[in-house]
Amino acid sequence: MVAGKDKGTQGRIDKVLPKTEQVVVEGVNVQKRHRRSRGSREQGQIVERAAPIHVSNVMMVDPKQNKPTRIGVRTDEKTGRKVRVAKLSGTDLK
């Protein structure tokens, strides 16, 4: 995370919502939901779930230095395909 209450937190992206330009990140922006009991079989409980955050508040992590980094693009000389590159260390991202 780059900004907000969870600034500096790292996590894996669980879901991408392209229409709203948001992502759901594991362990970030966790909200509590109160669930009502369903008869005598299921008890009422408080459930935690990660809510979506805007894409602009998320950065990739550099694989070498384990720090947030911007992303660049270069063409691979062998295949001619575009490859994402970490700006901080210059390593290729998968």
- pLDDT at res. 44: 92
Per domain, the residue ranges of the chain are 1-58, 60-94
As to burial, measured by CB atoms within 10 angstroms (0-12 exposed, 13-18 middle, 19+ buried), residue 28 is buried
The half-sphere exposure of 23 on its side-chain side, counting CA atoms within 13 A, is 15
Per-residue pLDDT at 3 exceeds 90:
no
- 25 pLDDT tier (thresholds 50, 70, 90): very high
Contact 45, 51 (CB under 8 A): no
3-state secondary structure of 35: strand
- The C-alpha atoms of residue 50 and residue 9 are separated, in whole angstroms, by 13
- The C-alpha atoms of residue 53 and residue 7 are separated, in whole angstroms, by 12
41 or 23, higher pLDDT: 23
- pLDDT at res. 51: 95
